Amino acid sequence: MSKNYKIAVIGGDGTGPEVIREGIKVLNAAAPKFGVKIEFTEFDFGAKRYLKTGETLPDSAIEDLKKFDAIYLGAIGSPDVKPGILERGILLKMRFALDQYINLRPVKLYQNVETPIKDKGPEDIDFVVIRENTEGLYAGGGGILREGTQYEVAIQESINTRFGVERCIKYAFEYTKKRNSKKKQLTLCGKTNVLTYAFGLWERVFNEIAKNYPDIKTDYAHVDAITMWMVKNPEWFDVIVTDNMFGDIITDLGAVVGGGLGVAAGGNINPEGVSMFEPIGGSAPKYTGKNVINPIAAILAGKMMMEHLGEVEMAKKIEESVQKTILKMKSMAAGKMGYSTTEIGDMIADSI
């Protein structure tokens, strides 16, 4: 397998470029130790480019991005641009155009990271949410009629195809099978008691595919109930699979259970194409340029990227070094870490 990787870097908005810089620092420190070469190519998509040129992510850029092994993204979103333009124009466009149909979001509490969940520790909080990433309410189905009048009608439809649901659930079973956990359990999160069309399909497909995985325990939870269990009994979960909208919602809860947005990373994965890795916390504009934001989420996104590319040992080493550095930190919150953004990056890189 090739040990040379071409990575497209989109620092993006706000603190995005600051945290990605630390991520690259760590990847550059680790690469030579594992016989890996990484070539980074920067792209300037984000608010600044949009305000200057009116361009979000042009189709030509999608073609460019297809030539890379993976994409490393900081954050998209700026108070200077109307909400939705950059999110839809860049982030969602990338997920859809590159068919990154899996959004993989680990919820893992590291040692010395504080969780708001009372009496729960790292041994209790270690699960993964697999969110379908190209369909559901995000697919753009629906429309608006008589907009702005008293008679307006707004319809937002959830699109669920057998093809889309099947590939997501298959991925989730394979992921659960390979995941290094004792439980080997996959939970479907839905709303079969009300959204009977959409989650009826999810449930049927889930049960059909489960037959091929007799060693995996299966479970089901309604989305409202799961928000309660994730707080009360996070140790119940191993892998959760769900649709796009529910996955969006429960992974913010997951992030906070796992110690906050400072440590939460995710992967937007096309197993047959180009995947994108990002810290999921957003651009945190008020901290821009202050060197106080926590780069660990971005560094863990880099770790996930290497894991995805097959560099499992390198990923492990990065994670170990992150854990060592976390032991020295006061908090995961911006400005309260006891160290600056660049110092955290240095400490992790040095420990590698």
Fill in the amino acid letter for 242.
T
Instruction: Identify what 13 binds: ligand IPM, Mn ion, none; CB under 5 to 8 Å per kind.
Output: none
Query: At closest approach, how far in Å is the CB of 57 from ligand IPM?
Result: 13
Query: At closest approach, how far in Å is the CB of 303 from ligand IPM?
Result: 18
- R_g of the chain computed on alpha carbons: 20
SS3 label, residue 33: helix
User: Which residue bears the tokens 């047959």?
Assistant: 272
Options 117, 280, 300, 306; binder of ligand IPM; rule CB under 6 A: 280
Q: Which stretch binds ligand IPM (CB under 6 A): 48-56, 86-94, 290-298, 304-312?
A: 86-94
Residue nearest to Mn ion (CB): 248
Rounded Cα distance between 183 and 236, Å, is 9
Query: At closest approach, how far in Å is the CB of 23 from ligand IPM?
Result: 17
Phi, psi angles (nearest 5°) of residue 330? -80, -35
Taking the least distance from each CB to ligand IPM, the nearer of 115 and 133 is: 133
Q: Rounded to the nearest 5 degrees, what angle is found at the Cα of 243, between the Cα atoms of 240 and 244?
A: 115
Instruction: Tell me: does residue 47 bind ligand IPM (CB under 6 A).
Output: no
DSSP-derived secondary structure letter, 91: I
Asked whether the beta carbons of 187 and 237 are under 8 A apart, the reply is yes
Taking the least distance from each CB to Mn ion, the nearer of 248 and 311 is: 248
Options 27, 92, 168, 298; binder of ligand IPM; rule CB under 6 A: 92
Instruction: Tell me: does residue 18 bind Mn ion (CB under 5 A).
Output: no
Q: Which stretch binds Mn ion (CB under 5 A): 241-249, 258-266, 286-294, 297-305?
A: 241-249
Instruction: Tell me: does residue 238 bind Mn ion (CB under 5 A).
Output: no
β-partners of residue 42 are 9
Helices (H), 261-309: 296-308
Question: Under rule CB under 6 A, how many of the chain's residues touch ligand IPM?
Answer: 5
SS3 label, residue 237: coil
Instruction: Tell me: does residue 278 bind Mn ion (CB under 5 A).
Output: no
Buried b (16+ CB within 10 A) or exposed e, 79-114: eebeeeebebbbbbbbbbbbbbbbbbbbbbbbebbe
Instruction: Tell me: does residue 132 bind Mn ion (CB under 5 A).
Output: no
Taking the least distance from each CB to ligand IPM, the nearer of 26 and 265 is: 265
What residues line the site for ligand IPM (CB under 6 A)? 87, 91-92, 248, 280
What residues line the site for Mn ion (CB under 5 A)? 248
